[in-house]
Amino acid sequence: MQKPNFLKFFTYLTIGVFVYFSLVFTLLIFEGNAEPSVECDVSIHDFSDAVWYTTVTLTTVGYGDMTPVTAGGRVIGTIFIIFSLGIYGLLIGQFTSILNVYRQNKKLGMNGTNFNDHVVMIGWTDFGKAVTDQLVAAGQKVAIVTAEKDNIDIIQEYYSPRNVFVLFSDHNNMEMLMKVNIDQSAIVFVNLNDDTEKLVYILNLKKNFENLNYVVTLDNANLKNTFVTAGVNYAISKHEIASKLLASYIFEPDVATLSEDIMSFPIDEDDQDIKQYKIIESNPHAGRNYRDVFYDLWKETNAVLLGLVKKDKKGNRKLYKNPEKDIIVEKGDYLIMICNQKAEAKIENIFRTKEGRHA
């Protein structure tokens, strides 16, 4: 991270002011009692005259309404003329340097973001890009922390700053993580290269930030329980998902095709997608039986309920997959359904909220 060298700038400025007034008073010593010249009947007699003359000289205005008449005064005047040749270049150079550092820091994310209830992604990979594509398509905001400077231009070229913020930082610099508002994020996706590195990183992160929600993808499915014990909310094995999908393609290809379609963000308005919506207080279905909600939503929007998620007093989530027994839909629950974009607009109008997980 570069920092504007304000101390150096103000040091030079202080020295410049000291030299300036020293020359002004020296000019007064030579010119204070001198007689006006033939060419100019106005001479430099007092402090205000000296400041006026040196100011118009330094700014290259040069009105010529007063000039030094003594040899010493003309030497001082010559010094000011020489200074005038470089002073603008010096000032412009300093301000340009400060502006360049500001722009560079902004590009590297040093000014921070105001995202909240967003996804924080630690580490950038091709897999991370695929995840980000899906999140952005779903209208989610993502803050990415990368330790590779070359990734900055790539990420900023792919995504709008309205949706994706990127920070160049060492992943272990916990203070810098405040710039991505990690404490106000909905979930933290640890996207490092090695499972062991991910586990150590999460343990260190939990020491600095409490009550964060974590999701990781694992290369070794046997470590899933270890990550869950460490406090990870969702530990997902990439190989496990891939193997299940591959087996489905072999055994029941049509089911696999449907599964892949609904896992991807819909492009056309008729494409199906699995979504979840939080039940807020104004939701007309709050307090109703799940089965009644199932039928009414199908008739009103053509969406099909798949399940219900409830949270206990400790915040633990329990998924009820298409429950058979009577169960009441309550404020704070989540309804999971499959629907297309046509149905989505109707659901959001009824539920008065957007899809996704909200704190």
pLDDT at position 37 over 80: no
pLDDT computed for residue 102 by the predictor: 82
Confidence of residue 359 (pLDDT cuts 50, 70, 90): very low
> Out of 3.50.50.60, 3.40.50.720, 3.40.1550.10, 3.40.50.2300, which CATH number does the structure's domain 119-241 have?
3.40.50.720
Confidence of residue 28 (pLDDT cuts 50, 70, 90): confident
Strand 142-146 relative to strand 164-168, pairing: parallel
Residue 127 and residue 138: Cα distance in Å, rounded?
A: 17
DSSP H or E run through 215: strand 214-218
Average pLDDT in the 281-299 region?
93
The tokens describing 27, both together, are: 């000019």
Residue 224 and residue 71: Cα distance in Å, rounded?
A: 88
Look at 336 and 31; give whichever has higher pLDDT: 336
Tell me if the domain spanning 6-107 has CATH number 1.10.287.70: yes
Which 3 state secondary structure label does DSSP give 180?
helix
Look at 95 and 21; give whichever has higher pLDDT: 21
Average pLDDT in the 118-127 region?
94
Average pLDDT in the 132-138 region?
87
pLDDT computed for residue 180 by the predictor: 95
Residue 299 and residue 292: Cα distance in Å, rounded?
A: 11
Confidence of residue 259 (pLDDT cuts 50, 70, 90): confident
Burial of 288 (0-12, 13-18, 19+ CB in 10 A): middle
Confidence of residue 42 (pLDDT cuts 50, 70, 90): low
- CA-closest candidate to residue 204, choices 165, 172, 240, 163: 172
Are both 6-107 and 270-351 of the same fold? Answer: no
Confidence of residue 36 (pLDDT cuts 50, 70, 90): low
The tokens describing 334, both together, are: 């989540």
Residue 143 and residue 333: Cα distance in Å, rounded?
A: 27
Look at 95 and 180; give whichever has higher pLDDT: 180
Residues in the chain: 359
pLDDT at position 39 over 70: no
Cα dist from 93 to 87, 98, 105, 110, whole Å: 10, 9, 18, 23
Confidence of residue 2 (pLDDT cuts 50, 70, 90): very low
Average pLDDT in the 15-19 region?
85
Cα dist from 58 to 75, 87, 269, whole Å: 14, 8, 68
pLDDT at position 3 over 70: no
Across the chain, mean pLDDT equals: 85
Average pLDDT in the 115-142 region?
91
Contact of 214 with 231, CB cutoff 8 Å: yes
Greatest mean pLDDT among 67-71, 74-78, 167-171, 241-245: 167-171
- Map out the domains of the chain as residue ranges: 6-107, 119-241, 270-351
Pinpoint the alpha helices (H) of the chain. Answer: 6-31, 47-58, 71-107, 126-137, 150-158, 195-208, 224-229, 238-251, 253-263, 290-301, 341-351
Strand partners, 336: 276, 307
- CA-closest candidate to residue 214, choices 168, 242, 182: 182
Confidence of residue 277 (pLDDT cuts 50, 70, 90): very high
The tokens describing 120, both together, are: 């924080």
Residue 208 and residue 213: Cα distance in Å, rounded?
A: 13
pLDDT computed for residue 164 by the predictor: 96
Average pLDDT in the 335-350 region?
90
pLDDT at position 88 over 80: no
Average pLDDT in the 40-53 region?
77
Confidence of residue 266 (pLDDT cuts 50, 70, 90): low
Sheet holding 317-321, edge to edge: 273-278, 334-339, 304-311, 317-321
Q: Provide the CA 310 distance to its chain's centre, in angstroms.
A: 32
The tokens describing 209, both together, are: 């930030």
pLDDT, tens digit (0-9, with 9 covering 90-100), for 176-221:
999 999 999 999 999 998 999 999 999 999 999 988 999 999 988 8
Greatest mean pLDDT among 80-89, 236-245, 326-335: 326-335
The tokens describing 325, both together, are: 């027994």
pLDDT at position 256 over 80: no
Fold classification of 270-351 is Alpha-Beta Plaits (3.30.70)
